[in-house]
Every structure is written in structure tokens, then in C-alpha cells.
């Protein structure tokens, strides 16, 4: 999906209906809202974390690899929980700590994505499709049209003791 505006009335912006995520931008002291339609499909669910809910990851932006405009948002994380994005081109089903990995080898760790969920228990980030981490030299690659990449958020959690958990997995097929 591309940004979609339904109308601008001079005072505010009305967003198109449906399942969208909006962002507000200031242009010449006026706000402009841009809505992104979710992309990808949930390819693996997650288990509840210490909030009692499962962390939910959603992808927004464009599936055009050349546009390099993919954004991810994770909600229902424990407050002030650190995590990082992991991804891969192969799906799997191995157990990992308090969840299921759902990625097969090789798995890329997006070390530049390490972030805290803060007081809201949410993280939002842009994914650089020109520098996806991979396990072999040169250790990063660009997403190519026709490829499907699966994304997950791996986060710290505290249950019976310090541990970690995962969000659902979202698979995005690029064109």
C-alpha cells in the first residue's frame, strides 16, 4: 500500500477507512496525516508475555523492494522492554525460550533496531531493505523482487525469571 488521503478540508485531514495506521506530519505549520495499509501475512503466532497478551507485529508501507519504505510496529510488549528485529528468508518452527522461533537458518539480527518499548509497550521502526543482515559475507544483502522475508521482534521479558519472548511473525513478499 501507498499513502492514502481521503480528503483535506483546510482544518484537518480525514483518513480513508479500513485497517490503516496513520502518521501526522507538520508542513508549513499545518498537519498532514498519511495512512499506510498493512502489508504481509501473519505466518506464525506468538505466546503471551508478562503483560498477559502476545506481542503483535504489523508491517506497513510498500512491498516494492526498490521503494525501501517498509515500517514495522510492535505493540503489547512489556513496558521498558528491550528487543531487536530478527528476519530471514526461510521459515521454521523451533522452540525458543518462551516462544517459537518460526525462522529457519540463516537468521539475520538487525542490530541497529535495538530499542526499548518505553512506557507504552510499543516500538516502531523503519527497515532498510538495502541492507538486510545475513549470516555469510558480506553479511548484508538487498531485498530483491520475488523474495519473501519473515520478520519477528525478539524482546526481553520477565516471567518466573528473566527471559525473552517473541512477537508474531509477518511474512512480506516483495515485488
Average pLDDT over residues 100-121: 92
In the Cβ-directed half-sphere of 146, how many Cα atoms lie within 13 Å?
A: 0
Whether the predicted pLDDT of 5 surpasses 60: no
Mind listing the pLDDT tens digit for each residue in 48-96?
899 999 999 999 999 999 999 999 999 999 999 999 999 999 988 887 7
Whether the predicted pLDDT of 9 surpasses 60: no
pLDDT score, position 35: 58
pTM: 0.79
pLDDT score, position 99: 66
User: What residues does 174 pair with on adjacent strands?
Assistant: none
Mind listing the pLDDT tens digit for each residue in 130-169?
999 988 888 999 999 999 999 999 999 876 666 888 999 9
Higher pLDDT pick, 92 / 25: 92
pLDDT score, position 137: 83
168 and 44 in contact (C-beta within 8 Å)? yes
Dihedrals phi, psi of 56, to nearest 5 degrees: -115, 125
CA angle 38, 13, 75 (to 5 degrees): 35
Most confident of 30-34, 107-111, 162-166: 107-111
DSSP alpha helices (H): ranges in 2-130? none
CA angle 84, 86, 89 (to 5 degrees): 165
Q: Which three cell numbers stand for residue 6?
A: 481521503
Distances (CA, A) of 135 to 87, 107, 141: 11, 7, 10
74 and 122 in contact (C-beta within 8 Å)? yes
C-alpha–C-alpha distance, residues 154 and 169, integer Å: 10
pLDDT score, position 18: 41
Amino acid at each position: 500500500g501507498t499513502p492514502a488521503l481521503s480528503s483535506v478540508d483546510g482544518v484537518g485531514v480525514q483518513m480513508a477507512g479500513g485497517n490503516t495506521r496513520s502518521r501526522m506530519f507538520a508542513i508549513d505549520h499545518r498537519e498532514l496525516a498519511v495512512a499506510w495499509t498493512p502489508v504481509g501475512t501473519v505466518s506464525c503466532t506468538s505466546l503471551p508475555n508478562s503483560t498477559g497478551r502476545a506481542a503483535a507485529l504489523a508491517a506497513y508501507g510498500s512491498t516494492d523492494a526498490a521503494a525501501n519504505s517498509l515500517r514495522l510496529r510492535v505493540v503489547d510488549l512489556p513496558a521498558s522492554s528491550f528487543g531487536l528485529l530478527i528476519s530471514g528468508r526461510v521459515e521454521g518452527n523451533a522452540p525458543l525460550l518462551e516462544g517459537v522461533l518460526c525462522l529457519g537458518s540463516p537468521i539475520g539480527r538487525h542490530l541497529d533496531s535495538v530499542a526499548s518499548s518505553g512506557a507504552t509497550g510499543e516500538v516502531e521502526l523503519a527497515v532498510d531493505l538495502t541492507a538486510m543482515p545475513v549470516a555469510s559475507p558480506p553479511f548484508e544483502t538487498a531485498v530483491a523482487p520475488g523474495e519473501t522475508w519473515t520478520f519477528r521482534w525478539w524482546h526481553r521479558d520477565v516471567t518466573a525469571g528473566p527471559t525473552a519472548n517473541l512477537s508474531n511473525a509477518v511474512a512480506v513478499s516483495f515485488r
